[in-house]
Amino acid sequence: MRSLTEEETKVVFEKLANYIGRNITFLIDNPTDPHVFRLQKDRVYYISEKISKFATSVSRTQLMSVGVCFGKFTKTGKFRLHITALTYLSQYAKYKVWIKQNGEMPYLYGNHVLKAHIGRMSDDIPEHAGVIVYSMNDIPLGFGVSAKSTNEARNLQPTAIVAFRQGDIGEYLREEDTLFT
């Protein structure tokens, strides 16, 4: 387990900024319980600084996981967020989309968010911005990227895609064999 390099940190923060904007500072600059990002086998973990110091006494081969996995680096150097980061993303989300109950199951089965399934959405969502998808009961279901801005989405057909799915809580079941390898 090691600290992120400057380039890796930049890539991770750019991805997080798509979803939570300047609220990244709340993840790191917490004086009562400071947290850090650490890399272990191409996966980025969000760990309490105190636990991170304890984890250094465990060898890299013996250490499987520590903290919350925020995502992983691909072989091409891109960073992909994992669904395990959803609780932190939803706390500090800039743009939100709530879907009706009839749209929850299609979304959790891996489909994109359609206009017909939108219950409400944040104002001023730009096109291709990171959004957090909630149920109408304010339960975070996943995250994605807006296909259209809020103003454009109001004039779409009911079958048009409003947000592209990138991760949802249904992934735990669909990809449980590959998620933790």
Tokens 């992909």 identify what position? 80
DSSP labels for 88-141? HHHHT-SSEEEE-HHHHHHHHTTPPEEGGGEEEE-TTPPTT-EEEEEETTS-EE
8 A C-beta contact, residue 177 and residue 111: no
The residues with which 46 forms a beta bridge, in sequence order, are: 37, 68
> How far is 94 from 173, CA to CA, in rounded Å?
28
The residues with which 120 forms a beta bridge, in sequence order, are: 98
Q: Which residue has the higher pLDDT, 135 or 178?
A: 135
Is 180 a member of any domain? no
Number of domains in the chain: 2
Residue 61 has pLDDT above 80, yes or no: no
The residues with which 161 forms a beta bridge, in sequence order, are: 114
| Identity of the amino acid at 144 | G
Q: Which residue has the higher pLDDT, 28 or 78?
A: 78
Residue 37 has pLDDT above 80, yes or no: yes
Is 181 a member of any domain? no
74 and 116 in one domain? Answer: no
> How far is 146 from 144, CA to CA, in rounded Å?
7
The pTM of this model reads 0.86
7 and 83 in one domain? Answer: yes
* pLDDT score at 177: 60
8 A C-beta contact, residue 71 and residue 80: yes
Most confident of 34-43, 52-61, 172-181: 34-43
Tokens describing residue 6: 């400057």
Is 179 a member of any domain? no
Q: What is the CATH number of the domain that holds 104?
A: 2.30.130.10
Is 104 a member of any domain? yes
Q: Which domain holds residue 107?
A: 95-174
Domain end call among 89, 115, 148: 89
Question: Distances in Å between the alpha carbon of 99 and those of 16, 21, 74, 84?
Answer: 22, 22, 30, 20
76 and 41 in one domain? Answer: yes
152 and 104 in one domain? Answer: yes
Tokens 């997080």 identify what position? 16
Q: What is the CATH number of the domain that holds 62?
A: 3.10.450.220
Domain end call among 52, 67, 89: 89
Is 133 a member of any domain? yes
Residue 41 binned pLDDT confidence (cut-offs 50, 70, 90) = confident
